[in-house]
A = this chain, B = another copy of it.
Amino acid sequence: MFVPMDDVEIFKALGNKNRLQILTWLKDPEQHFIDYMPACGDIDVGVCVGHIHKKSGLTQSTISEYLSVLHRVGLVSATRIGQWTYYKRNEETIARLGNLMNTL
């Protein structure tokens, strides 16, 4: 097989406008989340579920599920700190997918 089956799942994850939107928001948190604040000192762990939820207009459960989908296929990382879970783009996966398109 030329394209690992996993890549199909990544494309499925990207084939939803809300999930794709979330991924673009996470590209530039300062711009997209008014009350965004780096959570962990100098280490940037991303944006917490609640912020994304409030911006999205979808329900909390849907956003939680979508973030878990993005996480499962490796498009974002997840960091639990206290009662918050912070999600952050996984640029390696995204870049790898960009390269994959060239060799696909």
Please report A residues at the B interface, Cβ cutoff 8 Å. Answer: 2-3, 5, 7-9, 11-17, 20-21, 23-24, 27, 94-95, 97-102, 104
Which of B9, B21, B101 makes the CB contact (< 8 A) with A97? B101
User: Main SS of the interface on chain A?
Assistant: helix
Q: Which residues of B contact A13 (CB under 8 A)?
A: 15
How many copies of this protein are present in the complex?
2
The answer, among B8, B21, B24, B99, for a CB contact under 8 Å with A16, is B8
B104 touches A95 (CB 8 A): no
Q: Select from chain B the residue with minimum beta-carbon distance to A32.
A: B2
**Across the two chains, which residue of chain B brings its CB closest to A94?**
B101
**A20 and B11 form a contact (CB under 8 A):** yes
